[in-house]
Chain A
Amino acid sequence: MVLIQVFLVFAIIAALVAVEAPSALSSIISLGAVGFGLSIAFLWLGAPDIAITQVVVEIVTLVILIRATIARGVTEIRGNESKTLLIGSLILFGLGSAFFANYLSDFPEFGKSAMETFSNPASQFYLKFGLDKAGGPNIVNDILLDFRAFDTLGEATVLFAAILGAITLLNRKVFVDSGEEKQ
């Protein structure tokens, strides 16, 4: 429990460094530290699938971000925030956290998952019948590919659309006849 909190605090510090560091390289590496710190926390939280996925995705994200900035010769990414917005966002943050803390005190305690607190939740069903009815010992994958396979189809579609969109937008030729780039 304390360990998890330590990793979360580590992630917060890394996130602050990532947001504030002026150098592109240290900023991107700190962003990687957020993801890796969280993935270790996920291992402690009994989620090895997520930890693996988080690590591989973090690597790809870092490669893409480095490709976009440092490989392009951009070494400094300063935030340049405005003072008024900063004060405004601090006030907003104060109000927001007060709001959160007020309602979060009614939230089920940490370490008591919803599946224990409520009668007949879906998760109990998955754990109980996943092996027999879907056929895999890894219940998370049973949910992904059998019980909620339609979600996974949507997820694959999101990736497909994003990649198709990125490729379309990076393509320079817009019109058939001109062949010139639109300025």
Chain B
Amino acid sequence: MTGMSSIVKTVTRWVSPFIFAFGIYIALTGHLTPGGGFPGGVIIAGCFILLTLAYGKETTFGLFNLESSAVTDSLAALAFLCMGFLGYVFGGGFFNNFIQSGFPGTSFRLLSGGNMPIINLAIGLKVGASLFAVFAYLALFRAIEED
């Protein structure tokens, strides 16, 4: 798989950074607008899947390969768990929103969510990395099968 025509490649090159940024935006502002970590993460994964389809897996895997997606996956999951633990340590219980109480009266802003944007970002990265890992594994598995 070496990729598609140059039109597809050019369009993908222009569009994919925006898709990535859009995914991050959807994830970060989940507590303000519809969306959240999960759709954001899927959009991030979609960005990398698009790159893989357009450029072929050799090029894309140079950028973001299976090992790095597995590492991101684990690290983001651990970050999520750590937010729970920090709530346990600093707040009133596991997953207490301990940052939020530090910003009273800032409703409708990014900061007003306390630790929600952080958790959302962690979920977004986790979901993006794991879905990309599945896609990459399916692609690789087929390559092995054809040998």
Contact = CB atoms under 8 A, between A and B. Distances in A.
- A adjacent to B, CB under 8 Å: yes
A68 B134 CA distance: 12
Nearest to A150: B95
15 contacts: A49-B39, A51-B34, A52-B35, A67-B142, A72-B142, A131-B107, A134-B97, A137-B108, A144-B36, A145-B116, A156-B127, A160-B74, A163-B73, A163-B131, A170-B141
Nearest to B136: A167
Contacts of A157: 77
- Which of B46, B74, B141 gathers the greatest number of chain A CB atoms within 10 Å? B141
A35 to B, nearest CB: 13
Interface in B70-119: 70, 73-74, 77, 80-81, 84, 94-95, 97, 100, 103, 106-108, 112-116, 119
Interface residues of B, number: 52
Contacts of B77: 156-157, 160
Contacts of B57: none
Interface in A22-53: 48-49, 51-53
Give the interface residue-count category, chain A.
35 or more
For the residues of B in contact with A, the DSSP-based class is helix
A136 B112 contact: yes
Interface string B105-147: 0111000111110011001001100110111011101101000
Interface of A: 48-49, 51-53, 56-57, 59-60, 63-64, 67-68, 71-72, 131-132, 134-138, 140-142, 144-146, 149-150, 152-153, 156-157, 159-160, 163, 166-167, 170, 172
Nearest to A53: B39
B45 A160 contact: no
B33 interface: yes
